Amino acid sequence: MNPGDKMRVAILRVTPKPPWRQVAFLLGLSTVTRHRDGWRKARIETLAGYAGLSPAEATRARNEVAARGLIEYRPGLPGGAAFYRITVPGIGGGDS
């Protein structure tokens, strides 16, 4: 299994019955290129598009998964990209 598939399986394991927006957000975020330091940079509008969510719904999902400890989130400048690190248990390769 390749690392991307392992990440997606781990995301689905730790989110057994959450609102779909949380799963969609995490899967969308997993498609963003991870930098060597483990952080991913993306605008909420981009993540919303990847996840099939509205920007408001993606923002809600981001706040929910951050509160659950499944991601670390650092806001960017207003209207700019933010920084994310996936912390889902069971994911290797610098994201856990």
Does the domain made of 3-86 have the CATH classification 1.10.10.10?
Answer: yes
Per residue in 35-77, pLDDT (tens digit) is 999 999 999 999 999 999 999 999 999 999 999 999 999 999 9
Binned at pLDDT 50, 70 and 90, residue 93 comes out as: very low
DSSP state for residue 70 in the 8-state scheme: S
Residue with tokens 């889902």: 88
| pLDDT at residue 19, rounded to an integer | 85
Q: Are 73 and 84 in contact (CB under 8 A)?
A: yes
Three-state DSSP at 40 gives strand
Q: How far apart are CA 4 and CA 60, in angstroms?
A: 24
Domain boundaries, the chain: 3-86
DSSP state for residue 20 in the 8-state scheme: H
Give the pTM. 0.78
